[in-house]
Amino acid sequence: MATAEKYLRPEVIRQVARLDLRAKFIVQGFLSGLHASPYHGFSVEFSEHRKYNPGDDLKTLDWKVYARTGKYFVKKYQAETNMTGYLVMDLSKSMDWNGPAAARQAGVKVDWSALGAADETLTKFDYAICLAAALGYLMIYQQDPVGLVAFDTCLRTVVPPKSKRTQLGTILSVLANLKPTGATNIPESLFQLASMIRGKSLVMLFSDLLPTRDDWNAEADALIRSLYRLRYAGHEVIVFHILDVLEAKFPLAGLVDFEDVESPEHQEIDAQGIRDDYLAFVEQFRGYIRSECAAANVDYVGMDTSVGFDKALLEYLVQRQRRFS
């Protein structure tokens, strides 16, 4: 049985603890409120005002502000301004793969110099869990509730968001005992998630985004529509697009028997002969997702396992903090 502790690495935690995942939320709170939005805790003390919206509880109307301005504002409390996060994990069989380890076991010719810091002990799913562990820690460190959603063709596991320090251990224990086993339907799962979440939240998706049908364009378009659905509901979204180093760089040579991990199909291919076409396709696919995410105001973080997850995460968090500082 896997242990949760291996995913929460102290040297990474020391680095991420000084960065700020919720900077965007604080800036938005400052801009939209009549009062500055501080780092909010979990009390129900008054925090700021916001404009009245149909359906708001009339008890929260501030009549003193109405008397001064003639406009309706409701009192907003600190508990309302917390950022709730969801770690959303792809359980597709393709996530349970470590290219370097598989290539070594199969005796495939590999340009090992191209693999960088790829860790032969981590599958893509393990890599994603390490990222999620650091981000989950960061949210709880900032006193924000965080939960877990795991999916394949639909939502399979849901751990409701909590801000207790024990929550991270709960999430990691669940993740350590999950096994990516089959096909996936990312768009359908994200639509389900959008219907489930109450209140504006931060959705962090960890997936290789590999399509399961022959029509890659149709599946990519469906993915983008599901991201727009989350954004339409007011959620912030970060897509961590995780590829294995062999998928991203394809440092293979000779005849290689490629097997589909989500079906019994396999085919022997001259790896070197298709490398250029393959890499062009991967870049086109990643570029399309990246540009569509930008249009939807979704953060896209492309990464592969040749770069340590700690370095990739820190680079993103630093960039994010600079954008909103």
Same domain as 243, residue 167: yes
- What SS3 state is found at 198? coil
Same domain as 56, residue 136: no
Query: How many angstroms separate the CA atoms of 96 and 113, rounded?
Result: 23
Q: How many CA atoms lie within 13 A of 125 on its CB side?
A: 21
Question: For the chain, give me the number of helices (H) and strands (E)?
Answer: 11, 12
26 within some domain:
no
Query: How many angstroms separate the CA atoms of 88 and 242, rounded?
Result: 13
What's the rounded mean pLDDT across residues 263-272? 74
pLDDT tens column, 137-187: 888 888 889 999 999 999 999 999 999 989 988 998 898 889 998 889 999
pTM (2 decimals)? 0.79
Count structural domains, the chain.
2
Task: Name the phi and psi angles at 252, rounded to 5.
Answer: -110, 155
25 within some domain:
no
Q: Whole domain around residue 44: which residue ranges? A: 33-81
Give the amino acid at 291.
S
Same domain as 243, residue 285: yes
Run of H or E including 247: helix 245-249
pLDDT score for 71: 82
DSSP state at residue 27: H
Same domain as 87, residue 159: yes
Q: Is the pLDDT of residue 42 over 50?
A: no
Same domain as 146, residue 50: no
pLDDT score for 5: 62
52 within some domain:
yes
Same domain as 261, residue 180: yes
Query: How many angstroms separate the CA atoms of 42 and 30, rounded?
Result: 18
SS (H, E, C) 133-172: HHHHHHHHHCCCCEEEEEECCCEEEEEEEECCCHHHHHHH
